[in-house]
Amino acid sequence: MPTQPTQTLTASSADLARAADLLAQGDSVAFPTETVYGLGGDARSGPAVARVYEAKGRPAFNPLIAHVPDIETAQRLVMWSHMADRLAMAFWPGPLTLVLPLREGHGIAPLVTAGLDTLAVRVPAHPTARALLRAFGGPLAAPSANPSGRISPTTAAHVLAGLGGRIAAVIDDGACDVGLESTIVGLADDTPRLLRPGGLPAEPIEAALGQELVRHHVSDALNAPGQLLSHYAPKATLRLNAEVARTDEVLLAFGGVSGDLNLSRNGDLTEAAANLFGHLHELDLTGRPIAVAPIPDHGLGAAINDRLRRAAAPRDS
Ligand code: TXA
Ligand code: MG
């Protein structure tokens, strides 16, 4: 694709107005959310969404999340339900995405859903994401702002390293707090499903619903089409549950284990989630294989391990 200079914008209202103009023109703009940086495009415009896929080099069957400013806007796009209401009231704005049947007259470009009859929607909590949605005045389709198959960006520098020259602008507003993509819950039928573990642990979601989420393992049929096994991959190979590094490896440690970088010396899973992608990016720059210490599998640890398993999975080159 042709290269273009990528502008770096701030979160000032003048710059957000500039970003909204670029989006209205059909350009792609990367912006911070509380989870990771997203690459936004006008969700009502096929060409704008195509540009997002193109910049990422993303397989066209992998649908995108529509970001909206509030519950009312979401309700205009999808068929709302009692369960959707419970989860939205409890966790929006925040790191939770709901998949619901599209509603008649939704106006969403088919490329956003990759032809599915359901739509993933989310109300982000980050003040800059919210201000941008208000300035733009429409839904933004926004996958994570990384080249397809690479790890998600948690800073504007990560975005520029992966997509500089391929997108119109990035809004630089510091590092993302959560550091993991949103949790995706499927509510397309009567059975609530955990389609992707993420920044909101499953336990509080189940408590709010008063029932368990049906979990899908990566080996199941691709119910979230993005669940390609190798999806969040650094360039280096990854070896999981490593207590010590082999001679040529760098070690990503956790808790008391000592290594080249530590996700959280105190064994705090929230801190580890926020550090995960940044540390992987940094270790990837060494060009050496990465060994990763064991991470407990509860709470946010489940999402961290999910990302690590995908990053470690054999990939087609
Ligand atoms: O935190 C996040 O969710 C970030 C920020 C930018 O909001 N976005 C993000 O988007 O992670 P992306 O495109 O990297 O991941 C979207 C996931 C994919 O796994 C995709 O397959 C799934 O959502 N998805 C989208 N629409 C779906 C649908 N209708 N049914 C099932 N899964 C869907
Ligand atoms: Mg992604």
Q: Give the nearest ligand 1 atom to 120 CA.
A: 26
Q: Is 118 in the pocket of ligand 1 (CB under 6 A)?
A: yes
Q: So what's the pLDDT on residue 278?
A: 81
| Confidence band, pLDDT 50/70/90 cuts, at residue 228 | very low
Minimum CA distance residue for ligand 1 atom 18: 226
**44 pLDDT above the threshold of 70:** yes
HSE of 42 in the Cβ direction (CA atoms, 13 Å)?
Answer: 19
| Confidence band, pLDDT 50/70/90 cuts, at residue 317 | very low
Let me know: does 280 contact 261? Beta carbons within 8 Å: no
Average pLDDT over residues 35-41: 98
Average pLDDT over residues 80-94: 98
Q: So what's the pLDDT on residue 59?
A: 60
Minimum CA distance residue for ligand 1 atom 17: 226
**38 pLDDT above the threshold of 90:** yes
Q: Is 146 in the pocket of ligand 1 (CB under 6 A)?
A: no
Q: Is 116 in the pocket of ligand 1 (CB under 6 A)?
A: yes
Q: Give the nearest ligand 1 atom to 39 CA.
A: 6
**96 pLDDT above the threshold of 50:** yes
Q: Is 224 in the pocket of ligand 1 (CB under 6 A)?
A: yes
Mean pLDDT of the chain: 90
| Better pLDDT: 126 or 226 | 126
Backbone angles phi, psi at 82, to 5 degrees: -60, -45
Max mean pLDDT range (76-85, 213-222, 303-312): 76-85
What is the DSSP-derived secondary structure letter of residue 144? B
Q: How many CB atoms lie within 10 A of CB 102?
A: 18
Max mean pLDDT range (18-22, 115-119, 147-151, 266-270): 18-22
| Confidence band, pLDDT 50/70/90 cuts, at residue 15 | very high
Average pLDDT over residues 60-66: 80
Q: Is 181 in the pocket of ligand 1 (CB under 6 A)?
A: yes
| Confidence band, pLDDT 50/70/90 cuts, at residue 79 | very high
C-alpha 72/C-alpha 150 separation (Å) is 34
Q: Parallel, antiparallel, or unpaired for β 250-253 and 261-262? A: parallel
Task: Please report, for residues 240, 255, 294, 298, the alpha-carbon distance to residue 265 in angstroms, rounded to integers and kept in the order given.
Answer: 18, 4, 13, 17
| Better pLDDT: 71 or 220 | 71
Q: So what's the pLDDT on residue 62?
A: 76
C-alpha 17/C-alpha 53 separation (Å) is 24
Q: Is 143 in the pocket of ligand 1 (CB under 6 A)?
A: yes
